[in-house]
Structures are given as C-alpha cells and as structure tokens.
Amino acid sequence: MRPYADSTLPLLARGYAWAPALRRRHGNPPAVPTRLLGRPAVLLHGPEAVEFFYDERLVLRHGALPGPVLDTLFGRGAVHTLDGETHRVRKELFTTHLMTPDGVQSLGRLAREHWLRTADGLRGEDAVLFDEMAVALAGAVSEWSGVHRTPGGEVRQLAQDCVAMVDGFATPGPRHWKARRARSRQEDALARAVDNVRRAPDASRPGRQSTVLEAVAAHRDADGSPLDTHTAAVELLNVLRPTVAVTWFATFAAHALHRFPAVREALREDDGAYARAFAHEVRRCYPFVPFVGGLATRDLRFGAQDVPEGALVLLDVAGHHHDPDLWPEPQRFDPRRFLGRDPGPGELIAQGGGSARTGHRCPGEDITVHLVATLAADLADLDFGVPEQDLRIPAIRIPTRPRSGMTVRIPARTMDRVPAH
C-alpha cells in the first residue's frame, strides 16, 4: 500500500462526516485506502464489507484498539480485545449467563421503574433529559447487576462516570482525561466489590441464583483460570457502562418524538411491535458509532483494493446506515422499515454485524433495543414539552448528542394512564 495522506486530523475535524467525504473524494468505491495515526488503513463500505470485516479468518480485534480507547471505553483485557476460543469463552459469560431473555426483561422493568420514578420527581419542571435518563439507567443496572449503590450520590457518580467514559473515548484533551479518571474510579470500586463477593461464604452455594456481579467473579476463562480482579472489574463495567450509554439512544428517541409527532401517536397506540421498530430506526437514523476497526490477519484483497497484513480495517457504520442503495430515502425517519421484523445480521450494524453469540456483535444489543423501545413508549405517554433550545446534533462531535442535552418540560399533572409496555 503506497503512503496515502494521514487522515487523523481530518477525522478529528470532520467527525461523522469524515468517512462519507473520504469515499466521495475517491468516487464512492467499496474500499478506500488511507492512513490513521500513521498506520496503513482501509475504509470498507457495504454489505459485503460487513461479512468480510466480521470474518475472524480475515480481520482480528487483538491489537486493533488504540490504548486511549482501551483506557476510556472498554478497559484493558476486555472481551472486545480477544479473538478465537478465548473470545468465545469470555463472551459466553455475557451471552449465556447475563444477557438472557429473562435478564433483558428484568432490566427493562427496572429501567422503566427508575425512569418513571425520576420523571415523577421532575413534574412541573424543566429537566435535561440526557442527564436524568443517565441516572435512571445507572440506578436500574446497579440494582439488576447486584452492584449495590446507595440512591443519590453513588448512583449519580456512576452515571456521570459511565457517560464520561463514552463521551471521552474519541477525542483528545479534557474530555479524554475526564474519561480516564472516571474509568479508574469505577474499576477500583468494582474490584473491591469482586473481592468482597469472592470472600463471601455463600457466594457459590449450590442452586443459588447468582447476580451479574457474582457470575463475573466466578467466571473462568478458556484456560480454566478465574479472571484476575482487575479484568473482572473491567468486564463488570462492560455491563454497567453500555447500559448507561443507552442514554444516547433514549435522548435521540425523545428528539425523534419531538420532531415527528405522528410517531409519538403511533407509539401511544402500540402493542409493542411499533416500539421495537422505532428503536431500530433510532439506531439507524441517529449517529453513534462512526466506524469500527480491526487488523488484517494477512495480505488480503477486498474488491479491487489490496489490504496488507496488519493494516487497520475500518467498517463504515454511519455511512452504511444512510446508503440510498441499502435504505430507500435514508434521511427519512420511518420506523415502518422494521415493522414486524428484526434486521438481518449485516443490515443494521449500530452495534456490530454478524452473530452476537459467536462473533464480535455486541452481546448487549437485545438489551439496547428493549430499553429504547420501553423508554420511548413511556416518553410518548409522558406527553413532555420541549422549551426553546438548541436541538442541533453536531456531526463533528463523537459521540454526538443534541447540543442542549434535550431539555424537556414534564407536565405537572398525573399521567392519564401508566404505560403497559
């Protein structure tokens, strides 16, 4: 691969617009060579690219994530950095023991309870939805996982720290250093929680229903060894942090309900199917992950483009979701695209493509979809108002959100009915 110009600064300057601009400059091919952080890289686009990217014989994760991303978003030693059998066994902790259908439903009920309790306390006031939703989700996932946090200060700190980890992973400067401090603080607290569980006399009593905390503490990797305390804390945080990160999608859901009143009415009349379709369309339409990356296992070729061994392989996520060849009228927000069906493994890739059980697709995707559907239905029933504010969503900020955080005015009256979702 010849020495193409480095795209690091353009990426920082253009954010989500970087990949589409790079592809346009080259005539929109399925693969575009470039460089990032001085390393050879290839940006891939399209359904065939999804299949190529998630084939572990071709693209691996180990060594692909830069240190700053590990030190903020995922943590050192996390499941996201593993491949092969080691990855499969570690991921079973999430897919088999934690992200079960019953577990998803249980977390959804808790999230709804915490959010409605939060909303009830804010009646008659203006509130920044992003901030309050983060606290509600932090409280719910703390209770669900067995990581007991006292109401108030500790839950709010967890919410703020999890938000900081996501908010600062893709940028240098103050946001990044805030994210590092937040991760360190939560890893230390969770390591203590893991140690306490391992010392508890009844933690492994036969027939006992274990919590998420206890399951992580008891997990053994492919070599039969338990996770060291730090790695256990990292993986436990990889349950808490992504759940709080649903705040972004919940805020985008409120943004969509404000922009498209007909959608709000459809949710109010829904039996559950429309809410799930709405959640999928929020994940497609609103930007969160611009791209994902891995490393080429050997000298490869994708279409007409050579991909040298060790090159960064980038999958264009945001561009995939707005490609007119894949989505009719891609800029139109229309949940009916997904009504009565779930998207295929290479169709909607907001949380990865391929198989969640055997590949690198996020094992928490079902939780995300369920939480967004549940919270969107409650938001529609809440009949919130939206005061004058800046609701623009800047493309140069990764991850982005409405500039105002989505300030809402919650009615002082009691809801006419409690949603049954």
Q: In the block, which residue shows the tokens 């009504």?
A: 339
Q: What phi and psi values does residue 75 have, to the nearest 5 degrees? A: 95, 150
Burial 185-201, CB ≥16 within 10 A → b, else e: ebbebbbebbeebeeee
DSSP class of residue 73 equals I
- Side chain identity at 139, as an amino acid letter? G
Q: What is the pLDDT of residues 247-272, one digit of tens each?
A: 999 999 999 999 999 999 999 988 88
Whole-model pTM over 0.85:
yes
- Mean pLDDT (the chain, rounded): 88
Q: What average pLDDT does range 117-134 have in this prediction?
A: 95
Cα 2 from chain centre: 35
67 class by beta-carbon count within 10 Å (0-12 exposed, 13-18 middle, 19+ buried): exposed
Distance, CA of 380 to CA of 407 (rounded, Å): 15
Given a contact cutoff of 8 angstroms between Cβ atoms, the answer to whether 402 and 173 are in contact is no
190 by DSSP, 3-state: which?
helix
What mean pLDDT is predicted for residues 317-340? Answer: 95
Contact 278, 373 (CB under 8 A): yes
Q: In whole angstroms, what is the distance from residue 242 CA to residue 367 CA?
A: 10
Per-residue model confidence (pLDDT) at position 207: 45
Q: Are 41 and 33 in contact (CB under 8 A)?
A: yes
Where do the domains of the chain lie? 62-297+329-385+397-409
Residue 64 has pLDDT above 60, yes or no: yes
Q: How confident is the model at residue 345, as a pLDDT?
A: 84
Share of the chain above pLDDT 70, in %: 89
Residue 29 has pLDDT above 90, yes or no: yes
3-class secondary structure for 10-68? HHHHHHHHHHHHHHHHCCCCCEEEEEECCEEEEEECCHHHHHHHCCCCCEECCCCCCHH
Q: Does position 415 have pLDDT exceeding 70, yes or no?
A: no
Position 166 scores a pLDDT of: 93
Residue 358 and residue 88 in contact, taking contact as beta carbons nearer than 8 Å: yes
Find out if CATH 3.40.50.970 is the number for domain 62-297+329-385+397-409: no
Q: In this predicted structure, what is the pLDDT of residue 358?
A: 59
* Tokens describing residue 293: 């990356």
Q: Which two tokens stand for residue 306?
A: 């050579």
* Segment holding 93, helix H or strand E: helix 84-95
Decide if pLDDT at 67 tops 50: yes
pLDDT score of 309 more than 90 = yes
Average pLDDT over residues 312-320: 94
CA angle at 278 for the pair 277 and 282, rounded to the nearest 5°: 120
Which of 20-29, 33-42, 93-102 is predicted least confidently? 93-102
pLDDT reported for residue 409: 95
Q: What is the pLDDT of residues 198-257, one digit of tens each?
A: 998 765 554 455 888 998 999 888 889 999 999 999 999 989 999 999 999 999 999 999
- Mean predicted confidence (pLDDT) in 384-413: 94
Phi, psi of 305 (to 5 degrees): -105, 125
Ramachandran angles phi, psi of 400, nearest 5°: -95, 170
* Cα–Cα distances in angstroms (integers) from residue 230 to residues 75, 138, 191, in the given order: 9, 21, 6
How many contiguous H segments (helices) and E segments (strands) does the chain have? 15, 9
| Bridge-based pairing state of the strands 59-60 and 39-44 | unpaired
CA dihedral 125, 128, 131, 133 (to 10 degrees): 70
80 vs 367 pLDDT, higher one: 367
Report how far residue 1's alpha carbon sits from residue 22's, in angstroms, rounded to the nearest whole number: 17
Scan for tokens 């791209």, then name that residue: 291
DSSP secondary structure of 311-376: -EEEEEHHHHHT-TTTSSSTTS--GGGGTT-PPPTTT--BTBSS-TTTSSS-TTHHHHHHHHHHHH
